[in-house]
Amino acid sequence: MGKRILVTGGAGFLGSHLCERLLQDGHDVICLDNFYTGRKDNIVHLMDHRFFELMRHDVTFPLYVEVDEIYNLACPASPIHYQFDPVQTTKTSVHGAINMLGLAKRTKAKIFQASTSEVYGDPEMHPQTEDYRGNVNPIGPRACYDEGKRCAETLFFDYHRQHRLNIRVARIFNTYGPRMLPNDGRVVSNFIVQALKGRDITIYGKGSQTRSFCYVDDLVDGIIRLMNAPDDVTGPINLGNPVEFTIMDLAKMVIELTGAKSQLVFKPLPEDDPMQRQPNIEKAKKLLGWQPSVALRQGLEKTIAYFESELSKGRF
């Protein structure tokens, strides 16, 4: 028999894929979202499923439902969105964690926190392992997200120690795929949208900074494996693709796959933008038997096809 599972941020890019997978696995899913960055289009195909329920709710307010498991994904995750209302971003991470941990404590539910590679800041260690404590600017423009997520991790481990809560924490690295927002300011969606619209592709800095890109299906598999791991596997565990690409490599691949005639335009690097970001996933390999299987070219082809479909419907 399936579990009753709450997914906060369930109408977002990552949350909608997770809801879909949990339904496929036979669970009863409550999708919770305030639709700040989530979209009904992402979950409309699930609405008629008899084990799917949608709730419009903001995690900064308490919630009273009966559940077996909670996946806490609620928080805008792209710089454009989380910097638009930085106070609310911090509240979503901190108050949201407190409210969901309180719900888990009351219902004795297992709870997962979607943390982020941003807790490492602009790293002085490469690649990043889970015991690296990071290089974060606590008063910079990205701090609302970076420090909010760091505080959420603190709360999760304090609830674990103080209340014996069954927790899981994943530090998620760059993830891409269908249902990304076209205007979210992330590099994959930016490049694809610019290429499909025949615009020049904007590169910040020299394009030599590196990122590691994980396809969404791989990431969802890692999240579920972590949630289903033995109770002593709390994390934090890095989830991401360790294969590193420069931003320039990505731009050239997008131009090739879209057949665009876009030129490259260079602009100054934003403040506190990390130069390197690559996960060490040895812990995930050892404890979860997990590693990504979708190559960047293969994942980009699927993502481009999604954006082409959205463009043909006039959605951006």
Query: Which residues in the chain come in under a pLDDT of 50?
Result: none
- Whether the CB-CB separation of 11 and 54 falls below 8 Å is answered with yes
Give the residue among 112, 239, 119, 104 at the shortest CA–CA distance from 172. 239
pTM of the model: 0.95
The DSSP code for 122 is S
What pLDDT, in 10s, does the model give residues 269-305? 877 677 778 899 999 999 999 999 999 999 999 999 9
Three-state secondary-structure class, residue 272: coil
Q: How far apart are CA 264 and CA 282, in angstroms?
A: 36
| Residues 266-271: contacts with CB under 8 Å, at least 24 apart | 266/203, 266/204, 266/205, 266/206, 266/207, 267/202, 267/203, 267/204, 268/204, 268/205, 269/204, 269/205, 269/209, 270/79, 270/204, 271/140, 271/141, 271/142
Domain residues for 253? Answer: 4-312
Cα radius of gyration (the chain): 19
CATH for 142: 3.40.50.720
pLDDT at 276: 79
- Whether the CB-CB separation of 236 and 280 falls below 8 Å is answered with no
Indicate which residues carry an active-site annotation.
145
Three-state secondary-structure class, residue 33: strand
Considering only the C-alpha atoms of the chain, give the largest distance between any 2 of them, rounded to a whole number of Å.
58
Three-state secondary-structure class, residue 66: coil
What pLDDT, in 10s, does the model give residues 198-207? 999 999 999 9
Three-state secondary-structure class, residue 61: coil
Q: Which residues pair with 116 in a beta bridge?
A: 172
- Write out the two tokens for 259: 């057949």
Look at the chain and report how many structural domains it folds into: 1
- Whether the CB-CB separation of 260 and 252 falls below 8 Å is answered with no
Q: Which residues pair with 28 in a beta bridge?
A: 4
pLDDT at 101: 98
